[in-house]
Amino acid sequence: MARYLVTGGAGFIGSHVVDVLLREGNQVRVLDNLSIGRKDNLARAVELVESDVRDLKSLLSAAKGVDCIIHEAAVSSISLSVKEPVLSNEVNVTGTLNVLIAAKEARVGRVVFASSSAVYGEGETLPKSEKMTCRPVSPYGVQKLCGEFYCKVFSRNFGIEAVCLRYFNVFGPRQVTGAQHSAVIPDFILKMLRGESPVIFGDGQQTRDFVYIENVARSTVDASKASEVSGRVFNIGGGRGVSLNKLVSVINNLLGTRIKPFYGSPRQGEIQYSQADIKLARKRLGYRVRISFEEGLAKTVQHLRKRCE
């Protein structure tokens, strides 16, 4: 049994990671400011510290006695990072630095950092490989890349085994809905359940590598235990690109509807095409896509349909 601290552990991805950790019999402490995360996402067995990763003092206390920190806390909206770059930088850069300092001071053996495919930025080469040069086009992408560099520097200078996971477009139950910066899949599903047209910013030909949450949570826990991965970066995605037009079509099929999307102007900071090369994660982390895009989307539709009843 290991002892974990999960920042942002009451949120969408973090709470699923906590579930996997608890199923394995680990002790879990969560640090979350509950700005987006919810207490009801957490099992009673979890110790909850209501605080913020910008509060170094709280992190230093929360990190005591743990074997691994899984760092999920973030301002994860690209559009919000464009609108509020200072705020997102404080959370995504300073917050990550604070996590690493706390890990160093508490002599935590490993940190798993939730990075993002946004670090790659724009580029025609697909799939996106960890060997590619990163050219982020949003403040969020810059901030996550900065976090990766901090992880590598702390691995080199302070002996912390830091592992960075570049999540692609994660979706599934507990994802934030109804907010101004909510993710595309729950936003589309909820609109279409109400008979409304989903809004696509652009022509709909842009692709995303959608990956179901259970795949991501499992890979994150695996990364906390894998050997010889310190200072390394891994893509965590589905390994395929799906256009937003295709996404609307699949949702229509699941709902038995024929709703057409509304097309708006492209948004700042959004990339056009995305697809993950997941060979390295397969080789070093034993990663595999356990639940396909189609199966995960069906589960998500079912979950949101029940919520709306």
Q: Same structural domain for residues 31 and 130? A: yes
Work out how many domains the chain is built from and give that number.
2
Residue 176 lies in a domain: no
Helices (H), the chain: 12-23, 56-62, 78-83, 85-89, 95-106, 139-158, 184-193, 213-223, 244-255, 279-285, 293-308
Residue 33 shares a structural domain with residue 145 = yes
Are residue 72 and residue 191 in the same domain, yes or no?
Answer: no
Is the same domain home to 11 and 117? yes
Specify the CATH number for the domain of residue 196: 3.90.25.10
Residue 177 forms part of a structural domain: no
- 178 located within any domain: no
User: Residues 54, 202: one domain?
Assistant: no
CATH of the domain at 221: 3.40.50.720
List the chain pLDDT tens, one digit each, 309 residues.
899 999 999 999 999 999 999 999 999 999 999 999 999 999 888 999 999 999 999 999 999 999 999 999 999 989 899 999 999 999 999 999 999 999 999 999 999 999 999 999 987 789 999 999 999 999 999 999 999 999 999 999 999 999 999 999 999 999 987 655 568 999 999 999 999 999 999 999 999 999 999 999 999 999 999 999 999 999 999 999 999 999 999 999 999 999 999 999 988 878 889 999 999 999 999 999 999 999 999 999 999 998 877
Domain limits for position 260: 184-207+241-274+296-308
Q: Which residues are catalytic?
A: 140
Say yes or no: 57 and 130 in one domain. Answer: yes
